[in-house]
Amino acid sequence: MSTVQQEAGKIDQLKEHSADELEVVAGRERENLEGWIPALASDEEVRESLEKAFDYRGDVTITKKDGVILEGYIFDRRSGTSLRDSFIRIIPAKGDRAKVNVAYGDIAALAFTGRDAAAGKSFEAWVKKYWEKKAAGETNIGIEAEKLD
C-alpha cells in the first residue's frame, strides 16, 4: 500500500510527461499511419508498406489491380521471393467476413483508413490516468476496455 505522500510524488512525476511521451516504447519509432497512403512505386515500397499494414491495429483499404476494393484488417502475411508469391490475409470489415488472400503483386493501392485502435493505450498512459483519477478522489478505479465502434 502506498502513502498519500508517495501517491502525490507519483502524480507530480507523471505530470512531467505528455501522453505522447508515455506512448513511445524505447527502441521503437512511433509512426502515425492513420490516413497514410503509400506510393507503392517499387517492390521494396510494397513490401515495407504491407509490413507496416500488418503491424497496424486498424483497418486498411486495398485496391486490387482488377479494381476490387477490400477494406479490413490484415492479420497475416507470407513473404515470398517475389510479389506474386507473397500474400496478405485480410478479414473484410463488411460482408461475410470470410478471410481473403491477396497477392502483393495484385495490389494497386493501399490506404490506412481505419482508426488505430491501440493508439494511446500503453500501460504507462493507463497508469497516468489511474493516478490522475486517484488524485481526484475517485475510488474503484480499474482497467476498462474502450467500447468498439
Predicted pLDDT at 24: 54
In angstroms, the CA 132 to CA 137 distance is 9
Whole-structure pTM value: 0.61
pLDDT in tens, 13-57: 666 765 556 555 444 455 678 888 899 999 999 999 999 999 888
Annotated domain spans of the chain: 1-30+118-132, 33-115
pLDDT in tens, 96-113: 889 999 999 999 999 999
Mean pLDDT across 50-71:
93
Residue 97 CB-density burial (10 A; 0-12 exposed, 13-18 middle, 19+ buried): exposed
33-115 has which fold? SH3 type barrels. (2.30.30)
